[in-house]
Amino acid sequence: MNKAVANEQVNQLMVLKLNGIDLFVSQDEVVAHNDKQPLGYLENRQDAVGVINYNNHDVMCFYLNGEFEIQNRVPADFVTSVILEKNNYRIALMCKEVVQLEYTGLTLQDIPDCMSVKRSPLTGFCVYRKENDDLHLGMMTDTTSLVNYVGI
């Protein structure tokens, strides 16, 4: 079911630009994003690209390609790391770019039952309108779903 949401009732959204696909996440969960953040070596997770120290926590950093597959080789133009945090769960992702979403209207929608799969970072869709522009669709995620998806 659609959930019409007034702008003032929803948290601002950040757009994580991945390889050919964008992930939308509540700005509240984005606690840091940096360009060319040094990555520490992580011994026990071959699929992670490294570890980032944030507030004395080691946060595992991952790179998802356009199919949401976990890859341990990051393309050269993916220099931005974003750290997401919610309810003491933390995860970092390598992105091409992280931008704040500018929109004039927003509707949230659940993933349809016929598309729902157990192992996906997606939590739903959003439909938004840019000023004087057509409607656009975004794919929503959150920290918990990403943590579960990569299996931290």
Partner 1 sequence: MNGVSAWVMQLDHVLSAAVGQMELIHIVDNPELIYVPKAPSYCNHVILWNSMVIPVLDLSAWLNDSTLVYRRNLVAIAVYKDKKGGLKYGGLHLADTPALQTVTNDDACNLPVSSSLWQKISISCFSNDEHAPIPIIDIPKIFSDALMSIR
Interface contacts to partner 1, rule CB under 8 A: 1-2, 21, 66-68, 107, 109, 112-117, 119-122, 125, 127, 135, 137, 139
> How long is the chain?
152
Residue 81: Cβ within 10 Å count: 26
The whole-angstrom separation of Cα 92 and Cα 131 is 31
Complex with partner 1: residue 4 or 55, whichever CB lies closer: 4
Q: What is the CA radius of gyration of the chain?
A: 15
Complex with partner 1: residue 99 or 127, whichever CB lies closer: 127
* Closest distance of CB 45 from partner 1, Å: 21
* Closest distance of CB 37 from partner 1, Å: 26
Complex with partner 1: residue 34 or 109, whichever CB lies closer: 109
Residue type, 108: L
Residue 58 neighbours by CB under 8 Å, 6+ apart: 40, 51, 52
* Closest distance of CB 94 from partner 1, Å: 17
